[in-house]
Structures are given as structure tokens and as C-alpha cells.
Amino acid sequence: MTAQVNSHDSQSEFLSALASPVMLAILDLPADGGELSVGAVAARLNLTTANASEHLIVPGRQGILSARKAGTNVLCRIANPLMTKALDLLHRQEVTR
């Protein structure tokens, strides 16, 4: 494979981490730069904690979300401020349709 194709593979993997309606809803929750516990994500989206946790694995590996342990909680936040801007662009696209 060429370097260009490899680069696109990496970009494709990154975008596939966002390709779920649940994932996009999760990313909207802490859009103000704050942190949410996995339990809070689950409660707000009516998911089980296990299901919410599972949805957070791939975006964490892709660097979209970061997580830290705080006592018995795992707190998640958007890792890159540019992701918040990208989400804003997606929302604007919805409005213009």
C-alpha cells in the first residue's frame, strides 16, 4: 500500500469511530469541554453502564475521547477541542438541510 492509502486507512478508522448515532449523542453530552462519568452518560442516553462503556472504547483508542479515573468513577471528556468544532459543523449541516 502507498503512504497515501495508509493515511486514508487511518482517517477512515477515525471516522468510523464516529459513525454511530449513539456515539454522536455521547459526544454531544460533554460538548462544553466538561467531563461526564460513564454512569452519567448511560443515564442521560438511557443505556446500561456496560453499554455506554463499550461505546466509549473505540473513540478512546482513536484519541477522540480521553478518560481518567476519579475514585470509583471513570470520567470522560472530548480529548481534542477541534472535535467540538467538527461537531458544531455537523449540527450546522443538519440545520441547512
- What pLDDT sits at residue 68? 94
- Count other Cβ atoms within 10 Å, centred on residue 92: 9
Instruction: Give the pLDDT confidence of 25-40 residue by residue, as tens digits.
Output: 888 876 556 899 999 9
Domains and CATH numbers, the chain: 3-96 (1.10.10.10)
Instruction: Give the pLDDT confidence of 50-80 residue by residue, as tens digits.
Output: 999 998 988 888 888 999 999 999 999 998 8
Cα 22 off chain centre by: 9
Closest among 64, 82, 53 to 16, alpha carbons compared: 64
Grid cell digits, residue 1: 500500500
Q: How far is CA 43 from CA 28, 36, 50, 51, 84, in A?
A: 14, 11, 11, 11, 22
